[in-house]
Amino acid sequence: MRPSNKSRSRNKNNNRRNNNTSGNVVNRVFDSAGPEGRVRGTPQQIIEKYRGLAHDALMGDDRVAAESFQQHAEHYSRILQVAQRQIADRQAEQQAQQAERQAEQQARQVQQQQQKEQAKVENQKPEAEANFAPETGDQPDVVEHMVETPENKQRSRGPRRKPVEGNSNEGNPVAEDQPQPN
């Protein structure tokens, strides 16, 4: 026979709800079991409700009930103050962390900028040294480092001869470039 899963399914939702109790207390809805019954609402609403009930009790000459309502209102005002202090502390901590991250990011940007400038200076040094010509009159031989291309290559042909008028090679351009025998 299979074991019952009722207890497991009942606790599943309750565990999720109980794990989230450290959330925003300022907006959380509380159930207060006060002297006159149940009061439900956010801490601020409960405080206002109990202060109103205390005022009504004082108007009705019930000092004991008024004191009880005042104590309940004070309890929820303490809860609210603690929650607001925690929120303020968290915000201050987040602002400090954000300021620290911004300072680190600015420091990284400054460092990267310095590295870029240093790289530029280092890249310019070899060019300046290569372009530097000593004053003694010694010039580096630039032709020796150049690659020979067909445009720069000198032709080693002799001077052209004028074609003879009675020659049959006039229509042949290849024969024109070749030297003619006499």
Phi, psi of 161 (to 5 degrees): -105, 145
User: Which residue range is the domain that position 82 belongs to?
Assistant: 25-126
Inside any domain, residue 38? yes
Of these ranges, 12-16, 25-29, 177-181, the one predicted with the greatest mean pLDDT is 25-29
Amino acid in position 57: A
Q: How far apart are CA 54 and CA 73, in angstroms?
A: 9
Cα of 180 vs its chain's centroid, Å: 80
What total number of domains does the chain contain? 1
Please report, rounded to a whole number, the percentage of residues in the chain having pLDDT higher than 90: 38
| Residue 173: pLDDT over 60 | no
* Tens-place pLDDT, residues 71-123: 999 999 999 999 999 999 999 999 999 999 999 999 999 999 998 888 888 88
* Tens-place pLDDT, residues 26-65: 778 888 877 777 888 889 999 999 999 999 999 999 999 9
* Tens-place pLDDT, residues 139-169: 555 556 667 777 766 666 667 777 777 655 5
| pTM metric for this prediction | 0.47
Inside any domain, residue 9? no
Q: Angle, to 10 degrees, between the axis of helix 43-59 and the axis of helix 63-131?
A: 160
Inside any domain, residue 95? yes
DSSP 8-state secondary structure symbol assigned to residue 5: -
Inside any domain, residue 76? yes
| Residue 128: pLDDT over 60 | no
Residue 37: per-residue pLDDT: 78
Inside any domain, residue 100? yes
| Residue 12: pLDDT over 60 | no
